[in-house]
Amino acid sequence: MLQDEIIDFFQNVLPFDRLSREALGDMVSDIAMEYYPKGEQILKQGGPPIEFLGVIKRGGVKVYQISENDEEVVIDLRSEGEHFGMLSLISGDRSRNNVVTIEDTICYQVPKKTVLAVLQNNPEVNDYFLKSFFINLLDKTYEETRKAYSNGTTGEQLLFSTKVKEIVRTEPRTVSPDISIQQAAIEMATHKISSLIVIDSTGRPVGMVTDRDFREKVVAEAKDVASPVKSIMNTPLITIDAEDNCFEALLRMIRHRIHHILVLEGRKLKGLLTNHDFMLMQGSSPTILVKEIGQIESIEELQDTAPKFYRAVSSLLHHGARPHNITGLITELTEKITNTVISIFEKENGKPPIDYTLFYYGGAGRRELTLSFRVSMGIIYSDGASSQLQAEADNYFKLLTGTINRSMLACDLTGKKQCIKMDNIQGASFWQEQFSKWGTGAGTGREAGFFDMRPIRGDHKRVDSLRQYLLNRAAQYKGMMEAIVADTLQVSPPVAFFKDFVVEKGGEHKNKLNLYDKGIKPLADCARIYGLEKGVIHRSTLGRLHELKSMHGFRIAEDMAQAFGYLNGLLINNQLRQAEEGEKPGNFINPDILTNFERKTLKESFKFIARLFEEIEGNYWGGKVLP
C-alpha cells in the first residue's frame, strides 16, 4: 500500500537505491511527510542543525549561502528524488546553508537516528554522502582549472595557482595540552565554537578536540572532567603547509574525509581551512577582458576573443551572477569590440564624409545578448548631403560595413549572420518613412526589434528621436499595434509535448529545441507589446516588466520576469556546455541532457507563454491589448 509506494520511491533515490527492500521497509516505518509552500525557508544558514534528511518527493528547493559581502551564492537547485540537509545532519552543530522552496514542495523526512543507522550499517551509502560534496565541488573547479590551463590565460586565481596561505582566514582557538577537560569545555562554550586546537609550549599543534570527543570520550564513558584535555584529543593532525597549493589541500581533505584542515607555517599554526573557503575562491575576472579589448590595435588581434568570453561568463555564473548581469556583460563587451573596430577603421580610412549614428537593435539593443551573439546593427546618417558627398558616404559606409562584418566573424562571435546589412544604412527621413508604412500589410520590412534601438556611436539624438517617432506612432495608430501583435503570435510555443518535449523533426537540429525563438523571444515580444500599450520607455525586457509591475500594477509581469530569467540562465549554461565540447554556442538545446527539474520548469515556462499569447490574442481583438 502506501509503504510500498514510498519504498518504490526510495529505490530510485541515490544512494538509497543500494539498500535492500527490507532495509528500506525499516527505514520507511518512521518517516514523515511534510508540505512546504513556495518560498518557505526550511533551513537557515548558521541556524540550528536539521533533525532529519529531507528527500524531495515533489517540487524543488534552492540551496544557497549568503557570502560575507551579503551576496547570495547559489550552491544548488535540488528537485524530485534529491535530498538536502545531509551536511548539517552529520556535523550536528549548525546548518551550513539556507534551504528555501522554489515551488510548492512535498518532502519525506527521514529522522536523524534512522539516517545515522543506515549510514553505519551500509558503508557504501556512507561513502556516497561523504564524497558527493567534495566530488561535485572538485568536478566544477577542476573543469575550470583544466580550461584555464589548456588555454593559458592570465588573471585566473585557481586551485593550482593559489597558495593555501592566500585564502586561509580562520584563526582557530588554541589551548595547552595540560588544561582540564572541563576548562576546555568552558573555553568552547564561551566562544561558541565546536573545536579546539591543542598546541605545545613551542606553539606546535599536537592535536584537536571537537564536540564529538566530549560526547563519545567524556560523557559516554563517564570520564573525570579533571583529566587533562590531551587524554581525549585526536592525533595525528591532518595538516597542510601554507606554501602548498589549494588543490593539494583539497585532495588531502578528500583523502582523509575531513571538512577542516590545519594550515602550518613551518611548524607553527597558521590557521584553519574549511571547504567553505574553496567555494569563495575568486575566478577569472571580466574586467581583465574589458581591458584587453580596449588595448587591441588591429583586427587580427580580435581572433580567439570568443573563448575569453566563455571563460568570463563561466566564472560569473559560478559566482552566482544573475542571467541579466551576464547578458548585460556580453552586450557591453560586444559594444566595446564594435567601438574598437570602428576606431581602427577610422585610423585607416579617415573620418566619415557625413555624420552618422550607429545603433544596435533587437536583443543587442535591449542588452540581452547571449553567447550566440545575434548582434543586429543599423546606421542613421544626416540628410541633405549633396549628391557627390552622398556618393562618397555610400562608399565609406560600404567599406565600414564590410569591416564590421568581417571583424565580428574574426572574433568568432557571430557565425554566418551579417550583423549589419546595407539596407539598414539610411538617412533619418528614409527611416521615418519606412516606419510610417508599418502595419499596412505584409512586406513593409516590419521588425519589432527596432523598438529596442539604442545608440552606440555618434550623436545619440538621431536614434532617440527616431525611436520616439516609432513609439508615438504605435500609440496613435492602432493598425501598427495590431500588426506587431500578429507578428508576435506567429510563433507557437511548444506546449504539446511528446513524452516531454516538442523538438525539431529533422535537419541539423533534429531532436533539439530552439530556446530563444520559442521561449525567450516570445517573452521579450510580449513584454514589448504590454510596454507599448502603457507607454513604457524602457528598452530592456526586465526594465519594461519592472515598470509594468510597479507603475501599472501589472501582476503577471513578475512571473514573466522570472520565466525570462530562468530561460536565459538555462540557455547560457547550455551555451557554455557547447563551448566546452568545442561546438559553437547556439540557441538550440537538447532536452535529453536536462535534469527532470529543468525539464519540468521549462515545460511550465512554455505553458505560461502559451497562456500569455492566449490573453494577448483575446484582449487584442477586443481592440485593446491590456486587460
Partner 1 sequence: MGRQGAAVTSFFKKILGQPSAALPDWLKSQQDLKKSFDPKLSIGQVDFVAFDTELTGLDFKDDAIISIGAVKLRGATILPGKTFYRLVKPECELKRKSVVVHELTHSDLECAEDILDVVGDFVKFAGNAVFIGHFVHIDLNFVNKVLQQNFGVSLKNSAVDTATLHDWLYENDIHFARYHKGMTTQSDLFSMARKYGVEGGKSHNAFSDAYITAQLFQRFVSFLPECGVKTLKDLLKVARP
Residues lying near partner 1 in the complex (CB under 8 A) are found at 1-3, 5-6, 28-37, 40, 58, 104, 106, 108-109
Closest by alpha carbon to 244, among 170, 165, 167?
165
DSSP string, 555-586: THHHHHHHHHHHHHHHHHHHHHHHHHTTPPP-
CB 195 within 8 A of CB 175: no
Work out the burial of residue 39: count CB atoms within 10 Å of its CB; fewer than 13 is exposed, 13-18 middle, 19 or more buried. exposed
- Would you say 2 or 442 has its CB closer to partner 1? 2
Q: What angle do CA 86, 91, 95 make, to 5 degrees?
A: 70
Smallest gap from residue 109 Cβ to partner 1 (A): 7
- Would you say 106 or 206 has its CB closer to partner 1? 106
Tell me how far apart the alpha carbons of residues 298 and 308 are, in angstroms, rounded to a whole number: 18
Smallest gap from residue 597 Cβ to partner 1 (A): 16
Tell me how far apart the alpha carbons of residues 541 and 558 are, in angstroms, rounded to a whole number: 11
Smallest gap from residue 2 Cβ to partner 1 (A): 5
- Would you say 36 or 247 has its CB closer to partner 1? 36
Smallest gap from residue 33 Cβ to partner 1 (A): 4
- Would you say 108 or 309 has its CB closer to partner 1? 108
- Would you say 40 or 504 has its CB closer to partner 1? 40
Helix, strand or coil, per DSSP, at residue 349: helix
Q: 14 is written with which cell numbers?
A: 541515490
Smallest gap from residue 604 Cβ to partner 1 (A): 12
Tell me how far apart the alpha carbons of residues 35 and 22 are, in angstroms, rounded to a whole number: 27
Q: 114 is written with which cell numbers?
A: 534512522
Q: 173 is written with which cell numbers?
A: 582557538
Work out the burial of residue 555: count CB atoms within 10 Å of its CB; fewer than 13 is exposed, 13-18 middle, 19 or more buried. exposed
Tell me how far apart the alpha carbons of residues 466 and 100 are, in angstroms, rounded to a whole number: 46
- Would you say 52 or 359 has its CB closer to partner 1? 52
- Would you say 505 or 555 has its CB closer to partner 1? 555
Work out the burial of residue 515: count CB atoms within 10 Å of its CB; fewer than 13 is exposed, 13-18 middle, 19 or more buried. buried
The three-state DSSP-derived secondary structure of 354-406 is CCEEEEEECCCCCCCCCCCCCCEEEEEECCCCCHHHHHHHHHHHHHHHHHHHH
Sign of the alpha-carbon torsion through 462, 467, 468, 470: positive
Smallest gap from residue 366 Cβ to partner 1 (A): 30
- Would you say 26 or 580 has its CB closer to partner 1? 26
